[in-house]
Chains A and B, each alone.
Chain A
């Protein structure tokens, strides 16, 4: 009897350990009210080209909240950043679900938060150092368990539609405070909307897709910065022939969808797209196949990319440039901070890395790249939504952003990211960063978002796996067709079409 009891207890303990490792969804259902009726998901806005730049590049009368804080002549005590006077939330602490606290922008914002606390009496939890890769899990934990631990969060564009059920629309607050959303590029505004068209987040951290290149190598070889993919390929080949550098660095590995960035840019620049207006996949169209073949050929046929890129994420790709092994790199504008950081860049590359907009497809007009954006929003489960909104106003204010962008007192604070159009065109900021932000603004005029649909979270793994397979030699047309079929099956199951 004793032995049997021991065996049973042992079995239970083993099962406990197994379940703890195996079951990701052990949390109880959230204590939310009645279920929200969700109509068949027909996402509202297809991700067609954002052809027109936002008109709000010139501040309007509604821009008061995002202008530099200046005391007004009015008798009433005016608050900077559009904050509420009288410290109505004094003593409140808002918990901020975030990650990547070592990113220079976030590190700098964290360091400057005391100004906000002095103005409002609101304390804010620190930016956390947890890595980007683990951040989505943090969001899932908070949302799937009914929330209550955090008041606001940051999220990247690709996740926004998937977690929109948990984010509080803020249109009333935006309107009441004359918050100037128009000062953000249109491509940054779109991921802040939910499928009803309500505003659920505002831009905080955004990037443009660019081509970085070794200016010293280009000058030495008499090469011009590439404006088309063909020019880029030719330059890469010349560099490989005449130096010991690899021509180009990109990334084909499986790292959270990063291998789609270049692929999307190529597809769009070739006149292709991911979906048609009815959400039928068209990335396997002739334009899509041609673009994908070109992307894969850089690695397998032209060999202008190191073979190790088959397993690279964007960080690995960037390291090729930082460590002086590659002459060109396709990546985000924020990386310029790394390329100018004497502590990490190889001596021969330091101060020799320049940038141009991502190339275009020869003979096909403007480039169309992915404009990547992090939004900040308020969680529905928060009981301190008013205080959280006060923080968002300060955090995303153009004046706060400008202060952060101009602070180069420490390499840890050296940040090039600005998301307000007014700041991207600001002469002082551009002077500090060699005109990077102005080029961002140019690039973002024609940029696109990833498809704004909740199911993108399920589609992304299908596509990134397909890209990775093709980089490892799988035939392009057949692999894209198979991916398109998988996506079609998925969207049928989700009720998009029969």
Chain B
């Protein structure tokens, strides 16, 4: 019996070993290595390997670097815009499509497709659709609102960020609509019926029953989308290159520029860890909310 217990104790570690090894090789070691690198001077333009320990220099430099601060501001604005629009539009779609019908069933099937489109492709597609001379979105807007005809959307600081956010909303809102349809379906119908009997209007039902009942799902959806929005990169590259000026340069794009264009590996690693710190806070909240709901 005792021997079996001992065998079981080691057995679980043996069974876990391949997974732990994989995590160590693919996560722990690269993380530790790049974290160590963030304290070193390694500019590939100077040397083919790190040139020495510089302590917190890169981190200090980041907080006095106006381009870094700009990228943090842009990323925050983008996150607020894209997360807000995704949740609101996703919820609106869910409410419209929740009733069971053949049309809704077909539409729900189609909803998954935008999410399957790669972010880079989304960026290119929207760039073409917004093109001043031949873009279809540009043409439609110009037809509906003549003063906006010929507008170069991606050359305007606000609208360029807005349209990058829209590419995200286009991909994510349908997915969230499906998620919210599921959540709406899980709310007992007798609550709605009771409210109607008590004379509640549709708006009152939505604000006082639907929304509070959806709150846990909304929280998780918001946190998850926040994580993805904070990492925005592909559409920035394919639609604006961070422009006009630096008006759409996200933090991830700035990290990329410092690392892959300017070849400053140490500073780039430090910037990536600052981004990671922000993401880790949101990830922590996300896991905590999952844990609470599980409990």
- Given A12-B27, A19-B31, A24-B272, A29–B241 Cβ distance below 8 Å? no
B133 pairs with A19, CB closer than 8 A: no
B50 pairs with A143, CB closer than 8 A: no
B166 interface residue per 8 A CB criterion: no
What mask results when residues 210 to 244 of chain B are scored 1 for a CB within 8 Å of chain A, else 0? 00000000000000000100010100000011111
Which residues of A are found within 8 Å of B23, using beta-carbon distances?
12, 16
B132 pairs with A307, CB closer than 8 A: yes
What mask results when residues 163 to 175 of chain A are scored 1 for a CB within 8 Å of chain B, else 0? 1011000000000
A454 pairs with B46, CB closer than 8 A: yes
Could you say which of A32-40, A49-57, A369-377 contacts chain B? A32-40
B125 interface residue per 8 A CB criterion: no
A26 pairs with B33, CB closer than 8 A: yes
A366 interface residue per 8 A CB criterion: no
- Chain B proximity of A135: nearest CB distance (Å): 11
A461 pairs with B152, CB closer than 8 A: no
- Chain A proximity of B60: nearest CB distance (Å): 13
A143 pairs with B34, CB closer than 8 A: no
Kindly state the separation between the CA atoms of A28 and B51 in the bound complex, as whole angstroms.
14
B155 pairs with A310, CB closer than 8 A: yes
B227 pairs with A18, CB closer than 8 A: yes
Of the listed residues A144, A306, A474, the one surrounded by the most CB atoms of chain B closer than 10 A to its CB is: A144
Contact of B263 among A3, A140, A307 (CB under 8 A): A140
Which residues of B are found within 8 Å of A38, using beta-carbon distances?
46-47, 51
A461 pairs with B261, CB closer than 8 A: yes
Which residues of A are found within 8 Å of B295, using beta-carbon distances?
3
Could you say which of A79-87, A411-419, A465-473 contacts chain B? A465-473
Kindly state the separation between the CA atoms of A166 and B45 in the bound complex, as whole angstroms.
10
Kindly state the separation between the CA atoms of A310 and B157 in the bound complex, as whole angstroms.
12
A27 interface residue per 8 A CB criterion: yes
Kindly state the separation between the CA atoms of A35 and B43 in the bound complex, as whole angstroms.
13
Of the listed residues A15, A36, A143, A454, the one surrounded by the most CB atoms of chain B closer than 10 A to its CB is: A15
A310 pairs with B279, CB closer than 8 A: no
Kindly state the separation between the CA atoms of A448 and B286 in the bound complex, as whole angstroms.
55
- Given A18-B227, A254-B242, A474-B245, A23–B30 Cβ distance below 8 Å? yes
Kindly state the separation between the CA atoms of A325 and B46 in the bound complex, as whole angstroms.
45
- Chain A proximity of B63: nearest CB distance (Å): 16
B245 pairs with A472, CB closer than 8 A: yes
CB nearest neighbor in A for B252? A22
Q: Tell me the B251-268 residues at the A interface (CB within 8 Å).
A: 252, 255-257, 259-265, 268
B261 pairs with A28, CB closer than 8 A: no
User: Could you tell me the dominant secondary structure of chain B's interface residues?
Assistant: helix
A435 interface residue per 8 A CB criterion: no
A311 pairs with B155, CB closer than 8 A: yes
B243 pairs with A14, CB closer than 8 A: no
B294 interface residue per 8 A CB criterion: yes
Of the listed residues A16, A29, A136, A308, the one surrounded by the most CB atoms of chain B closer than 10 A to its CB is: A308
What mask results when residues 466 to 493 of chain A are scored 1 for a CB within 8 Å of chain B, else 0? 0011011010000000000000000000
B284 pairs with A11, CB closer than 8 A: yes
Which residues of A are found within 8 Å of B294, using beta-carbon distances?
3
B45 pairs with A137, CB closer than 8 A: no
Contact of B244 among A18, A21, A255, A469 (CB under 8 A): A469
Chain B interface category by residue count: 35 or more
A18 pairs with B231, CB closer than 8 A: yes
Which residues of A are found within 8 Å of B255, using beta-carbon distances?
22, 24
- Given A22-B252, A454-B46, A325–B133 Cβ distance below 8 Å? yes
Chain A interface category by residue count: 35 or more
A407 interface residue per 8 A CB criterion: no
B272 pairs with A253, CB closer than 8 A: no
What mask results when residues 32 to 50 of chain B are scored 1 for a CB within 8 Å of chain A, else 0? 0110010000101111111
- Given A10-B290, A162-B263, A23–B46 Cβ distance below 8 Å? no
B121 interface residue per 8 A CB criterion: no
CB nearest neighbor in B for A325? B133
A25 pairs with B48, CB closer than 8 A: no
B200 interface residue per 8 A CB criterion: no
B103 interface residue per 8 A CB criterion: no
A7 interface residue per 8 A CB criterion: yes
Kindly state the separation between the CA atoms of A3 and B290 in the bound complex, as whole angstroms.
11
Q: Tell me the A340-395 residues at the B interface (CB within 8 Å).
A: 380
Kindly state the separation between the CA atoms of A28 and B189 in the bound complex, as whole angstroms.
57
Which residues of A are found within 8 Å of B49, using beta-carbon distances?
29-30, 32, 35
A243 interface residue per 8 A CB criterion: no
Q: Tell me the A148-174 residues at the B interface (CB within 8 Å).
A: 161-163, 165-166
Contact of B34 among A26, A32, A137, A457 (CB under 8 A): A26
CB nearest neighbor in B for A457? B262
CB nearest neighbor in A for B27? A16
A41 pairs with B46, CB closer than 8 A: yes
A458 interface residue per 8 A CB criterion: yes
Kindly state the separation between the CA atoms of A242 and B146 in the bound complex, as whole angstroms.
25
Kindly state the separation between the CA atoms of A454 and B45 in the bound complex, as whole angstroms.
6
B107 interface residue per 8 A CB criterion: no
Q: Tell me the B262-282 residues at the A interface (CB within 8 Å).
A: 262-265, 268-269, 272-273, 275-276, 279-280
A22 pairs with B33, CB closer than 8 A: no
Kindly state the separation between the CA atoms of A12 and B42 in the bound complex, as whole angstroms.
28
- Chain A proximity of B119: nearest CB distance (Å): 11
A455 interface residue per 8 A CB criterion: yes
A-B contact pairs, 7 of them (CB 8 A): A16-B27, A19-B276, A140-B259, A325-B133, A457-B263, A468-B243, A472-B155
- The interface of chain A, by Cβ under 8 A from chain B, is 3, 7, 10-12, 14-16, 18-19, 21-30, 32, 35-36, 38, 41, 136-137, 140, 143-144, 161-163, 165-166, 253-256, 306-308, 310-311, 325, 380, 454-455, 457-458, 460-461, 465, 468-469, 471-472, 474
- Sorted from nearest, which 5 A-B pairs have the closest CB atoms? A254-B241, A26-B30, A308-B132, A454-B45, A310-B155
